[in-house]
Structure 1
Amino acid sequence: MMARKYRLGIMRKAANVLVTAFLERGIPIAGSTGWLLTTRGRRSGADRTTPVNVVEVGGDRWLVSPYGQVGWVHNLRVDATARLWRGRRRETWEVEEADAATAGPVLRAYVRKIPVTAPFFDAKLTDPAEAFAVEADRHPVFRLARSRV
């Protein structure tokens, strides 16, 4: 069975609006590690904000794109500054994109922590990290490298 393709349909847009409203007010979503990520648009230069989950693996914090090569991924590749916020809490980070070998364990941990994303992966929850590493080109991973307070 092949992984589902991500489509930003009306239901997902509505869910993003709802999640964003909660996170703007600092209200956590049950079972979530949610933040709002603001990046600089690679073409427009305008700020772009989207809800994301941040996971901790191996003592580092990571941004994972379970839905593939989405806009914020392209933006971070051009300007490696991630502004994370939730309510009044604000963090600014320089990010580094992980190679496949590094991304494998992070992707595995991400899918286990946020299983709603599992259908977008070919690897299954029980597969080893190496199976997730094979998918790293389809699910970019960024380490929150240096805080820029």
Structure 2
Amino acid sequence: MAREYRLGVTRKAANVLVRALLARGLPITGGTGFLLTTRGRKSGVDRTTPVNVLEVDGDRWLVSPYGRVGWVHNLRADATARLWRGRRRETWEVEEADAATAGRILRVYVRKIPVTAPFFDAKLGDPADVFAAEADRHPVFRLARSRA
């Protein structure tokens, strides 16, 4: 059974540290770490959180390893993702992936960022269709068009 994501004191502290490092332009987590800013679906206020951007077969992907968290709901309401690290700023339109595509991306994501593996029922060696079966719990978005 996969672990459930909880934003406790330790994770909040880690997010503050990671956010500060990314804001200064440090390429942590192997260069995949970015800050994602979305517009709050209810409040309209900008929300920023650290994420990893995965590149697979020439496409860039946002994966929510912790489930349907706030930024997922915000992207579903407004499909605009603003990614930044240091002075580098990018604005993208996103498209949510179907289960089959998401399964393939989730499999790669867990292999590249294994710290997220406990949040999945699928195991590292499982085929993509096993990951696809839980795609509804781990939304995946393709960075579709740059809005530079």
Asked if TM exceeds 0.5, the reply is: yes
CA contact (8 A) 1:32 1:114 kept: no
| Equivalent position of 2:39 in the other structure | 40
CA positional deviation for 1:28? 1.6
Q: Which one is further off, 91-100 or 22-31? A: 22-31
- Mapping for residues 1-149 of structure 1, pairs under 5 Å: 2-149=1-148
CA contact (8 A) 1:96 1:143 kept: yes
Q: TM-score when scaled to structure 1?
A: 0.98
- Quote the Cα distance in structure 2 between the aligned partners of 1:68 and 1:29: 22
> Percent identical across equivalent pairs?
84
Q: Deviations over 1:100-130 (max 9, x none)?
A: 0110110000000000000000000000011
Q: Which one is further off, 54-63 or 79-88? A: 54-63
2:96 partner amino acid: E
CA positional deviation for 1:30? 4.3
CA positional deviation for 1:32? 5.0
2:54 partner amino acid: V
2:121 partner amino acid: D
Segments of structure 2 that go 5 or more residues without pairing to the other structure are: none
Q: TM-score when scaled to structure 2?
A: 0.98
Q: Deviations over 1:23-58 (max 9, x none)?
A: 000012143510000000000000000000000112
Structure 1 counterpart SS, 2:136: coil
Segments of structure 1 that go 5 or more residues without pairing to the other structure are: none
Q: Which runs of 4+ in 1 moved over 3 A?
A: none
- 1:23–1:147: structure 2 CA closer, same or farther, 3 Å change rule? same
- 1:32–1:116: structure 2 CA closer, same or farther, 3 Å change rule? farther
1:128 partner amino acid: P
Structure 2 counterpart SS, 1:31: helix
Normalized per residue, the structure richer in helix is 2
1:123 partner amino acid: A
Q: Deviations over 1:41-78 (max 9, x none)?
A: 00000000000000011210000000000000000000
- Quote the Cα distance in structure 2 between the aligned partners of 1:88 and 1:94: 20
